[in-house]
């Protein structure tokens, strides 16, 4: 349900404190016109999409690889904290620049993340099902015959697809 995904996103972001992941500032429930409404406040991330960034900056292959490695390190950090994003795609990545023009990636939208209670070991097998965005989903996730998926390996496929596009 929408509420469960919202709660999951709050719990996932609360576990993560990394400059490459959108920061959560507060979350809760507010009474708005007599209706209880859940809210989440995060840092304001001003950046641009993967495609806009690549088109505008036209970074060299070396610069692209450095950004991709940065993304892999961010995802590795999340995995070590027990969080698997499960919907890595260009729309959930913002490319920002600091005052010196140095590019940095921010990962957003942890709404369908999977959490693991024992941090430090994010490898987890789960039932098959379509979770994520076509084009960035590991093929085994789309196969109804596959009963056990390694979520980390599926996420590595997504990273590979993004790296290929970069």
* pLDDT tens per residue, range 6-16: 777 888 888 99
Could you tell me the pTM of the whole model? 0.83
Could you tell me the sign of the dihedral formed by the alpha carbons of 47, 48, 49, 55, in that order? negative
Q: What is the mean pLDDT of residues 41-69?
A: 91
Helix (H), strand (E) counts: the chain: 5, 8
83 with 12: CB under 8 angstroms? Answer: yes
| pLDDT computed for residue 126 by the predictor | 47
* pLDDT, average across residues 34-52: 87
Q: Using CB atoms within 10 Å of the CB of residue 135, give its burial: 0 to 12 exposed, 13 to 18 middle, 19+ buried.
A: exposed
Q: Which helix (H) or strand (E) holds 130?
A: none
pLDDT at 48: 92
For the annotated catalytic residues, the residue numbers are 87
Q: Which of 124, 127, 161 is nearest to 144 (CA)?
A: 127
Q: Is the dihedral of CA 85, 86, 88, 91 positive or negative?
A: negative
Q: Which of the two residues, 33 and 125, has the higher pLDDT score?
A: 33
Q: Please tell me which of 46-55, 97-106, 139-148 the model is most confident about, judged by mean pLDDT.
A: 46-55
> How far is residue 84's CA from residue 76's CA, in Å, rounded to a whole number?
9
């Amino acid at each position: 349900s929408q509420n469960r995904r919202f709660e999951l996103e709050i719990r996932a972001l609360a576990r993560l404190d990394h400059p490459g992941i959108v920061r959560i500032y507060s979350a809760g429930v507010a009474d708005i016109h007599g209706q209880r409404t859940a809210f989440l406040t995060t840092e304001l991330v001003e950046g641009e999409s993967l495609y806009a960034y690549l088109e505008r900056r036209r970074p060299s292959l070396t610069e692209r690889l450095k950004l991709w490695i940065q993304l892999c390190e961010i995802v590795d950090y999340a995995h070590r904290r027990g969080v698997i994003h499960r919907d890595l795609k260009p729309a959930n990545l913002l490319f920002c620049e600091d005052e010196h023009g140095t590019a940095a990636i921010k990962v957003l939208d942890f709404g369908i993340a999977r959490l693991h209670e024992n941090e430090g070991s994010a490898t987890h097998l789960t039932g098959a099902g379509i979770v994520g965005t076509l084009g960035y989903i590991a093929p085994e996730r789309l196969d109804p015959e596959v009963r056990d998926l390694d979520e980390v390996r599926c996420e590595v496929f997504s990273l590979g697809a993004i790296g290929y596009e970069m």
